[in-house]
Structure formats: structure tokens, C-alpha cells
């Protein structure tokens, strides 16, 4: 008899086998305990007690009822008979990491085989339905792997795109899938896993039937094993299997259709020997879970502290860890997408940044969301981010019981209400909000869909759903400082330090403007469309204050930000890499909306292209690490972690006086803020780029502002093509040198930073 660790398969099946971590460790896998979880050892033990269903046999080991194990009433049409028999005989050998204990380990081999065959015969006798038809072969267009890796399967399972990849710690192995399921049975299971697994540990990913067939074909691969024969023996063997099923207390965990698990009491908690039975070094008669030393220690710790009903805050931590929500979502200082999985989270709106591809934080989510919307998300698959390819799983009522209430209670804040809008004030507030939302105000519709209508630019979530989803107190605080809630968000602060940037709307009263937006969102379908929602003019002009426009661009990448100033000085900033990537004079930008969702911008005058690669490095490299390039033949980013692996992290931006933006980002441990503005004059001839650095200890970083045919004019002045750059004196010391020659040349500025805060300025002077 072979196990998945011994079997070799070809194609996808082989990839899946590599993901079966039981070859390294057969102990039960609880994915959330391998993430950045918040639990102490006793809490880890309490979680294990729940996940392993100890309370199904023992009284007093857990204040909660045991989880429901898989329903076995339709096992015959869903599973391969050979796998059922082999799995019962030795679970961890055929599904490494399973929570199913070996209940036959202390018996002679012949007896184990006989009992396993009898129970298999009994389970098969319960299901007289014909197996579901098998899906067709996996298509070779990559759609199966793409669905697996992007829908969210990799949050609990290992990626399967690299045949030589090491299994991911804490991943639920898939090496047994091809042997376990009839192909049609796997399709049925993937489409409705809660029917078989009401505990929600395999959640419903809302797969359509074609998607379930696609995923099943990918997971099983080309070498589908034959189902095997049902054990022989007729009525006598079935009767023996039914008897063994009861004597081994299988019905303490497993339901059979309408027959729910019947708890069978073994030794109660007070009389347990914490070094015997399931917790002994080599369980014989007791169920053997293959617990490792850390798991045994945690369970002993939990039992020694006399398990009690957890406080709401701890209940939240336990549930989010048990369901592995923390593999995708961050809450407070735990959870979040791990670096090794980051590249699998994708979006159709890349220009919106990480918030368009990384699931939102759960910090203060009970304060953020209205109860009815949280229930809609958790129980009805409600969503407002159709551009995010990762799906929100549906865990079912059993798994989520009590969680929404705990979140609301733990995250509760003092009640906040906007002032009532009545009488003539309604018209004033509605008009003010319409102006703020449109292209003559804050231009919210440049990045957000509105009332079911697509934005002319980036297709962010429909902003009109705010009133339906959010609590007013959270909305008020978020609007004042978006980056506080989602660091790196491209949405700027329109009310920095509580002051309104749009002083001519609602008398520049920040409180009134935010309240007006909230009132407008409450109007739903009756709200008026703001100016610019249906764009007629493709060119954006600059008036008396600076104008900022966000969108993808050939001169600034997928996260481009264009800034235009009165007098005709303009530049583009690449938020993906922290580079000031283009400068031009004259007219600002032309905007097009024929691309893939995001509003493209193009300089309205010829632009001087500057490097778009990551701008700062902690350690200089030769050559400088260049940004990966996409082509029509290879449109997928070959290195999505490029900026991060070189220490860069964008932290958002705010709009200050005269509409001038300040960008915030990091180079390793150094926090950087930069603000650029034209030199004084009705027609400025240069752009001054000023950096403010903050670091806890003295540090050295390196900036590459120019590349190409760079020539030295003086120790502080350099020229490349049609632009000159001068280094101005600051509290940070800067030394510059030209490296390379001709088109391979580049200007490297080494900046020595003292502990605390320091500054440095550069002047960029484009040729007229």
C-alpha cells in the first residue's frame, strides 16, 4: 500500500503532491496558526482543542460545541472506495496534515484492514446515487491554474505553479486529491463544500459549475486513478461496518444526512491525564492525531488553565485564526498577506494600487461597517470591489456564529451622527456635494464609479454605496485622513489638518463638506450626476492652483500621478517606484478612457522622460536594478514585488496649500516626504524637488534621478539630454557621481542622513 508521499504522478497531479506537506510533518495543519497570528500558547491550545473536536468525546475540555466533521451520507458517489478504505486504516499516510485521527493504530494490521473495509462497505451502502459525470480534460490555456492562484485558494493551500517549489509551511496539502475524489464528486464538492463541510473550514468560493469543473480538472490532472472496487462481503460486512462506526465513535464527529453527530462522553476534563491518551508519546488505544510536541504543549497549557468561554476580544482572535481570515486580511498588528503570496493577489485596476488587489484591513471593521452590510458580506457574498480577483469566501452560519456580534462589540466607538439636513439646507448641501464630487471640485469620480455609472478614469468602488455600507463616524474620520486607515492608498487627504482645499464650496467649511457628501450618498438613485461623469473634453487644464491627476501613463507607469502648475510647469510621479519620471512645460495632460478600465494620461506637450525605476536604494548596486518591462507578448508583470524587494513602500499623499501634493514613501527604515513646486516667476524655468527625511539612526541612501548620457557640469550640477539638475544645500549631505558612459550612464547621489529629520532639494531645469 502506497501513500501520497510515495506515489509519483505526472502533470498537475505531481505539482499537487509536492504541496502535500505531510511528507515533512504529518501533524494536523491549522493554516491560521502558521500565519502572523495573535494567540498565546494557551489560546493556541484552545483553538486546537476546537479544531480537533476534542469535545466530541470529552466533557469540559471546551466551552463550545465541537465542530461538525464532514457529512458522510454521500461519500459513495463523491469519494473513491480505495481511498476511503486506506484513509480509515491510516489517515495521515493518505492525507498528511489531516485533523482525522488514526483510531485503529494499536490493532494488528489484519484487523485494521478488516475494520476499514467494513466501514467502507457501510458508508457506500448509504449512497445509492450515481456518481456525477466527470469534467472534461483541463484546458491548456492556463485558465485552470489562473483560477486556482487568483481566486484565493493559495490562502490555505500551496501555490502549484512551480514544480520545484518548497511546500509552504501551514498549507493544507492537496497531494491526495486525485486519489480521494471521483472527478465528478470533486466538482460537486467545490461548488458546494458547505453541504459536506458545514464547519466552514473549506469555505464556499462561489464557483460557478464551469469554474468548479475547470478547477477540478486542474487539481486532478491527466492521470486520473480508477475508483477501485467496493469491499466484498454483502450484508454481513455492511452490518459489521455499521457496528464498528458506532463503537469507534465515528458518529461523535461525523453526521450522516439527517442524523447529526451524537456526542459520546469519554473521560471528562477533570479526570484527564495530560500525558496519556491522545497526548501520550505513542497513543495506542486512544485516537492518534499525530500531534507534534508544540501542539501537545499548547493543548496541555490550555487544559491546565481550565478552558473557559473567551472574552469577546479573544473570541475574535480565535475565530479569525481558525478560519484563516488572517492569511488575507490584517487586523491590528497581526495577519495580512505574506510576502511569499503577495504576487498572487491581482486586480483588473492595477492603477488603484494595493487597495485594489489586497483584501481590506479588518482593524476596527466592527466600527467601520454597518451590521446589515457586514452580514451581507459574510452571509450573502456582498461585494463592492469587482476589480479584486481574490474572492471573499463564504464560511456558513456554523463557522461564523457569534463573530459579527463580537466584532461590533469589540470595535465599538462613541456614537457619531452628522447634523440633520432639513428644509432649505438640503438644496445647499446637495449642490455642494455635487460640485465636490465632480471635475470642478475634488474630482472623486476620476477614480470612483458613481451610482452605477462607470468612472471616466479608474473604476474604483462605487462611492454611492458608502451610506449603505459604512458607519458615519468611520466615514468622517476616513475622509479626513485616508492614509491613516490604508497606508499607501492613492486617495489623498482633501482636508489636511482639518482645512478644506476647496475654499469656494460651502464656504470652505471642512465639516460641512464632509457632511454634504454623506447626505448626498444617502439620496441613492435620486442623487444628481456630478460634472465630468460623462467626459466631453479630453484635455485637463490648469487654472489658478495646482492640479493633480491620477492614472496610468507611458511616462509614469500604472500608478502615475501628473501634477500641473499655473505658468505651465508640469511633472509626473511614478508612485509604484517613487520616481519623478517626466517633466514638461506648457499645456498639462490629455486624458483617454479607452484602456483597460483606468484613465490614461499623456502629457499635452513633449515630455522629458526621466528614469521610472525604483528611485532610492539603501545599498548601491551596479548596475542599478531596473523595473521589469511588460510587452504585448508578455503583459503580466514578471516581478510584481520589484519595488518592495528593494525597500520601497508608497505611503500615500496629501494635497496642501495651493493644491500642491506631498508624496510619502519609505526607503527601508527611512521615511521620505517630497514636495515639488516651480521656482518663483510668472513662467518658471525650473522645478524644485524638496525631500524631508526621517530616520531613527544615522543612515545612508542612494538616489538615481538621471539616466542616459549624463555629463558633469560641476560638483553639484549635471546635465542629461534636455534637462539640467542642480543639488542645493540642505541639512542632509549629498555627494554625486556619474557612473557609466553614453546611454548607459547614470547619476548616483549618495545622501548621508543624520538621526532625526533632515532635508535636501534638487532643481530640475528643462530646456525651453
639 shares a domain with 607: yes
Average pLDDT over the chain reads 89
> Tens of pLDDT along 398-421?
999 999 999 999 999 999 999 999
Say how far residue 338 (Cα) sits from the centre of its chain: 9
Distance CA 546, CA 762 (A): 20
Asked whether residue 752 is domain-assigned, the answer is: yes
Identify whether 314 is part of a domain: no
Which residues partner with 693 through β-bridges? 672, 758
Pairing mode, if any, of strands 648-655 and 661-667?
A: antiparallel
User: For residue 146, what are the contacts with CB-CB under 8 A and spacing of at least 6?
Assistant: none
- pLDDT at position 224: 64
User: CA torsion 31→34→38→41, rounded to 10°?
Assistant: 100
Verify that 110 and 184 share a domain, yes or no. Answer: yes
Same domain, 518 and 485: yes
Q: For residue 683, what pLDDT is reported?
A: 64
pLDDT score at 171: 94
Tell me how crowded residue 297 is: count the other CB atoms within 10 A of its CB: 15
Query: What pLDDT sits at residue 352?
Result: 87
Residues 549 and 501 in one domain: no
Mean pLDDT of 32-61: 92
Cα 353 → chain centroid: 12
Residue 463 CA to residue 509 CA, distance in Å, equals 21
Residue 616 near residue 703 (C-beta atoms within 8 A): yes
pLDDT over 70 for what percent of the chain?
91
Distance separating alpha carbons of residues 660 and 546, to the nearest angstrom: 6
Neighbours of 164 (CB within 10 A): 5
Task: Kindly state the average pLDDT of the residues 688-709.
Answer: 97
Least confident range from 52-56, 660-664, 756-760: namely 52-56
Cβ–Cβ under 8 Å, residues 721 and 709: yes
Q: Which of 18-22, 214-218, 375-379, 411-415 has the lowest mean pLDDT?
A: 18-22
pLDDT of residue 649: 92
Mean of pLDDT values over 478-493 = 91
Q: Which of 526, 559, 593 is the last residue of a domain?
A: 526
Assigned domain for 379 exists:
no
The answer to the question of residue 315 being in a domain is: no
Q: Which of 143-157, 163-177, 449-463 has the lowest mean pLDDT?
A: 163-177
pLDDT of residue 634: 61
Same domain flag for 60 and 91: yes
As a residue count, the chain comes to: 768
Q: Tell me the average pLDDT across 317-341.
A: 96
Answer yes or no: is 330 within a domain: no
CA distance 174 to 164: 16
DSSP notation for 737-756? EEES-GGG-EEEEEEEE-SE
d(CA 546, CA 661): 9
Q: Which three cell numbers stand for residue 152?
A: 484565493
Average pLDDT over residues 668-686: 87
Q: Do residues 83 and 222 both lie within one domain?
A: yes
Q: DSSP alpha helices (H): ranges in 291-412?
A: 293-304, 312-322, 365-368, 371-380, 396-400, 403-410
CATH of the domain at 625: 2.70.98
- Please compute the mean of the pLDDT values over residues 586-613 and round it to a whole number: 82
Torsion from C-alpha of 76, 81, 86, 91, nearest 10 degrees = -30
Cα separation, 401 vs 127, whole angstroms: 30
pLDDT category at 221 given cuts 50, 70, 90 is confident
CB 151 within 8 A of CB 394: no
> Residue 205 — pLDDT band, cuts 50, 70, 90?
very high
Least confident among 262-266, 300-304, 654-658: 262-266
The HSE-up count of residue 656 (CA atoms within 13 Å, CB side) is 11
Same domain assignment for residues 622 and 553 = yes
pLDDT at 572 over 80: yes
Say if residue 133 is in the same domain as residue 239.
yes
- Find the angle CA(718)-CA(723)-CA(729) to the nearest 5 degrees: 45
What CATH number has the domain bearing residue 437?
1.10.760.10
DSSP-derived pairing of the beta strands 661-667 and 733-739: unpaired
| Same domain, yes or no: 508 and 551 | no
Which pLDDT belongs to residue 36? 95
Buried b / exposed e along 40-51 (16+ C-beta atoms within 10 A): eebbbbbbbbbb
Q: Provide the pLDDT for residue 591.
A: 86
Judgement on whether residues 543 and 649 belong to the same structural domain of the protein: yes
Write out the three cell numbers for 527: 442623487
Q: Are 709 and 745 in contact, with CB atoms under 8 Å apart? A: yes
Work out whether strand 547-553 and strand 756-766 pair parallel, antiparallel, or are unpaired: unpaired
Among 640-644, 689-693, 746-750, the minimum mean pLDDT is found in 640-644
Q: Residue 65 falls within a domain, yes or no?
A: yes
When mean pLDDT is compared across 19-23, 461-465, 513-517, the lowest value belongs to 19-23
pLDDT at 636: 59
If one compares 232 and 54, the residue with the highest pLDDT of the two is 54
Specify the pLDDT at position 61.
85
Residue with cell 500565519: 35
Tell me how far apart the alpha carbons of residues 422 and 518 are, in angstroms, rounded to a whole number.
14
Question: Region 364-377: what's the mean pLDDT?
Answer: 96
Read off the pTM: 0.78
Beta bridge partners of 725: 718, 764
- Give me the number of domains the chain comprises: 3
**CB atoms near residue 262 (< 10 Å):** 12
In a domain, 404, yes or no: no
Q: Is residue 607 predicted with pLDDT exceeding 50?
A: yes
Instruction: Looking at the structure, tell me whether residues 114 and 208 fall in a common domain.
Output: yes
For range 353-366, the mean pLDDT = 94
pLDDT of residue 222: 66
Q: What pLDDT, on the 0 to 100 scale, is given for residue 599?
A: 64
**Is the same domain home to 293 and 162?**
yes
Return the sign of the alpha-carbon dihedral for residues 190, 196, 198, 202.
negative
pLDDT tens digits along 453-481: 988 888 999 999 999 999 999 999 999 99
pLDDT band at 6 (very low <50, low <70, confident <90, very high): very low
Sort 355 into a burial class: Cβ within 10 Å, 0-12 / 13-18 / 19+: buried
191 belongs to a structural domain: yes
pLDDT of residue 228: 67
pLDDT at 21: 36
* Residue at which a domain ends, from 496, 526, 556: 526
**Boundary of a domain, candidates 258, 285, 304:** 304
pLDDT at 4 over 50: no
Question: Which pLDDT value is given to residue 161?
Answer: 87
pLDDT at position 1 is 39
Structural domain of 505 = 425-526
The per-residue pLDDT for 620 is: 83
Cβ atoms 579, 568 nearer than 8 A = no
Alpha carbon distance 240, 115 (integer Å): 8
Amino acid at each position: 500500500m502506497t501513500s501520497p508521499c510515495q506515489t509519483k504522478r505526472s502533470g498537475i497531479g505531481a505539482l499537487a503532491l509536492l504541496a502535500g506537506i505531510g511528507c515533512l510533518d504529518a501533524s494536523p495543519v491549522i493554516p491560521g496558526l502558521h500565519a502572523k497570528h495573535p494567540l498565546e500558547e494557551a489560546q493556541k491550545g484552545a483553538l486546537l482543542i476546537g479544531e480537533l473536536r476534542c469535545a466530541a468525546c470529552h466533557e469540559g475540555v471546551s466551552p463550545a460545541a465541537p465542530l461538525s466533521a464532514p457529512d458522510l451520507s454521500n461519500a459513495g458517489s463523491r469519494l473513491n472506495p480505495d481511498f476511503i478504505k486506506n484513509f480509515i486504516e491510516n489517515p495521515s499516510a493518505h492525507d498528511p496534515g489531516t485533523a482525522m485521527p488514526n483510531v485503529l493504530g494499536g490493532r494488528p494490521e489484519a484487523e485494521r484492514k478488516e475494520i476499514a473495509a467494513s466501514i467502507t462497505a457501510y458508508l457506500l451502502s448509504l449512497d445509492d446515487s450515481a456518481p456525477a459525470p466527470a469534467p472534461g480534460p483541463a484546458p491548456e490555456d492556463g485558465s485552470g491554474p489562473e483560477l486556482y492562484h487568483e481566486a484565493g485558494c493559495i490562502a490555505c493551500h500551496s501555490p502549484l505553479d512551480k514544480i520545484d517549489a518548497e511546500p509552504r509551511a501551514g498549507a493544507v496539502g492537496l497531494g491526495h486529491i486525485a486519489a480521494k475524489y471521483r472527478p465528478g464528486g470533486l466538482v460537486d464538492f467545490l461548488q458546494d463544500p458547505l453541504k459536506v463541510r458545514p464547519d466552514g473550514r473549506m469555505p464556499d468560493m462561489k464557483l460557478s459549475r464551469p469554474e468548479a469543473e475547470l478547477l477540478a480538472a486542474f487539481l486532478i490532472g491527466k492521470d486520473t486513478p480508477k475508483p477501485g472496487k467496493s469491499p466484498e462481503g454483502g450484508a454481513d460486512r455492511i452490518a459489521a461496518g455499521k457496528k464498528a462506526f458506532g463503537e469507534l465513535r465515528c458518529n461523535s464527529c461525523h453526521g450522516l444526512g439527517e442524523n447529526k453527530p451524537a456526542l459520546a462522553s469519554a473521560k471528562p476534563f477533570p479526570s484527564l491525564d495530560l500525558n496519556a491518551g491522545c497526548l501520550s508519546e505513542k497513543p495506542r488505544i486512544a485516537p492518534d492525531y499525530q500531534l507534534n510536541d508544540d501542539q501537545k504543549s499548547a493543548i496541555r497549557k490550555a487544559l491546565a488553565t481550565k478552558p473557559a468561554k473567551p472574552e469577546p476580544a479573544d473570541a475574535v482572535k480565535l475565530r479569525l485564526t481558525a478560519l484563516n481570515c488572517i492569511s488575507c486580511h490584517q487586523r491590528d498588528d497581526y495577519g495580512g498577506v505574506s510576502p511569499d503570496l503577495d504576487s498572487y493577489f491581482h486586480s483588473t485596476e492595477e492603477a488603484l494600487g494595493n487597495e485594489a488587489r489586497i483584501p481590506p484591513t479588518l482593524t476596527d471593521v466592527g466600527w467601520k461597517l454597518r451590521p446589515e452590510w457586514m452580514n451581507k458580506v459574510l452571509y450573502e457574498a456582498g461585494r463592492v470591489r469587482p476589480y479584486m480577483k481574490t474572492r471573499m469566501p463564504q464560511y456558513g452560519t456554523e463557522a461564523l456564529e457569534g463573530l459579527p456580534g463580537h466584532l461590533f462589540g469589540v470595535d465599538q466607538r462613541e456614537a457619531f451622527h452628522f447634523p440633520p439636513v432639513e428644509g432649505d439646507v438640503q438644496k445647499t448641501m446637495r449642490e455642494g456635494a455635487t460640485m465636490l464630487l465632480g471635475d470642478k471640485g475634488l474630482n472623486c469620480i476620476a477614480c470612483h464609479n458613481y451610482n452605477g455609472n462607470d468612472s471616466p478614469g479608474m473604476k474604483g468602488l462605487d462611492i454611492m454605496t458608502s451610506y449603505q455600507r459604512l458607519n458615519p463616524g468611520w466615514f468622517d474620520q476616513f475622509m479626513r485622513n485616508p492614509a491613516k486607515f490604508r497606508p499607501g492608498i492613492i486617495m489623498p487627504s482633501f482636508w489636511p489638518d482639518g482645512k478644506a482645499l476647496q475654499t469656494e464650496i460651502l464656504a470652505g467649511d471642512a465639516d460641512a463638506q464632509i457632511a454634504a457628501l454623506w447626505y448626498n450618498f444617502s439620496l441613492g438613485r435620486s442623487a444628481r450626476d456630478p460634472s465630468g461623469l460623462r467626459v466631453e473634453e479630453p484635455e485637463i487644464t490648469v487654472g489658478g492652483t495646482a492640479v493633480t491627476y491620477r492614472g496610468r501613463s507611458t511616462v509614469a507607469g500604472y500608478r502615475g500621478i501628473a501634477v500641473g502648475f499655473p505658468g505651465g510647469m508640469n511633472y509626473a510621479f511614478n508612485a509604484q517606484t517613487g520616481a519623478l519620471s517626466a517633466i514638461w512645460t506648457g499645456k498639462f495632460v490629455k486624458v483617454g478612457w479607452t484602456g483597460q478600465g483606468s484613465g490614461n494620461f499623456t502629457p499635452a506637450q513633449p515630455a522629458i522622460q526621466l528614469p521610472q525605476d525604483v528611485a532610492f536604494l539603501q545599498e548601491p548596486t551596479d548596475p542599478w536594478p531596473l523595473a521589469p518591462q511588460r510587452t504585448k507578448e508578455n503583459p503580466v508583470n514578471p516581478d510584481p514585488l520589484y519595488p518592495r524587494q528593494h525597500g520601497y513602500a508608497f505611503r500615500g499623499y496629501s494635497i496642501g496649500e495651493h493644491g500642491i501634493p506631498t508624496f510619502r514613501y519609505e526607503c527601508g527604515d527611512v521615511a521620505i516626504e517630497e514636495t515639488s513646486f516651480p521656482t518663483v516667476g510668472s513662467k518658471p524655468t525650473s522645478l524644485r524637488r524638496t525631500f524631508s527625511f526621517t530616520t531613527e539612526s544615522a543612515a545612508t541612501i542612494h538616489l538615481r534621478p538621471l539616466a542616459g548620457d549624463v555629463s558633469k557640469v560641476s560638483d553639484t550640477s549635471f546635465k542629461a539630454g534636455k534637462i539640467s539638475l542642480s543639488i542645493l544645500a540642505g541639512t542632509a549631505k549629498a555627494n554625486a557621481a556619474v557612473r557609466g558612459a553614453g546611454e548607459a550612464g547614470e547619476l548616483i547621489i549618495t545622501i548621508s542622513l543624520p538621526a532625526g529629520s533632515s532635508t535636501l532639494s534638487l532643481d530640475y531645469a528643462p530646456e525651453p
